Amino acid sequence: MYQIPCVARNYGLVLQDKPEDYFNYNNEVVNVQDGRNYALTKKLGSGQYSDVYKTIDVRNQRTMVCKVLKRYSETAFKREIKILRELHNGVNVINFFEAVYFPNTSNQQNRFLITKEACSLLASLLRYDPQERATARETLYHKYFAY
């Protein structure tokens, strides 16, 4: 029986001319910054290996997106940084600014999500008296959702 070689239609041969260091992420040098300059404000999505948060840079109030790895391993971390650096300025690809360490994010991820606005909203929804409890309309216009 005659076998036809299988090659992916769009990107099957895209890596064949790349140098060895393109694939070697173990030697990737990553300068990790302290996470105190960023406030994780809202969880936008979740995957098997990471969570994505709406983030504010507290130095200049710029809104950005932060990808937080769920399980830290040095190999996975370096591979992720290498991929993001290679894709930097690509079409439909987010830009990589810096690697940041958030202490205890694997055990206490939700501690970044509890803001004054979130506590206020929760308090208004958990009132015992139904007459004092926030309505659905009031909840939608709460300052927590103003972001």
pLDDT tens readout for residues 19-49: 877 777 777 777 777 777 888 888 888 887 7
Is the same domain home to 66 and 82?
A: yes
State how many domains the chain has: 2
Q: Is 67 annotated as a binding residue?
A: yes
CATH number of domain containing 78: 3.30.200.20
Is the same domain home to 51 and 71?
A: yes
By the 8 A CB rule, do 67 and 100 touch?
no
Identify whether 132 is part of a domain: yes
Q: How far apart are CA 131 and CA 86, in angstroms?
A: 56
Which pLDDT belongs to residue 107? 41
The band of 110, judged by pLDDT with boundaries at 50, 70 and 90, is: very low
Identify whether 22 is part of a domain: no
pLDDT tens readout for residues 10-25: 666 767 777 877 777 7
Residue 53 contacts by C-beta under 8 Å, 6 or more apart in sequence? Answer: 40, 41, 42, 43, 44, 65, 66, 68, 112
Considering the entire predicted model, what is its pTM? Answer: 0.53
Identify whether 35 is part of a domain: yes
CB atoms within 10 A of CB 57: 14
Instruction: Tell me the residue ranges of DSSP E strands in the chain.
Output: 32-34, 38-46, 50-57, 62-69, 99-101
Strands 62-69 and 50-57: antiparallel
Can you give the residue range of the structural domain that contains 142? Answer: 114-147
Is the same domain home to 87 and 50?
A: yes
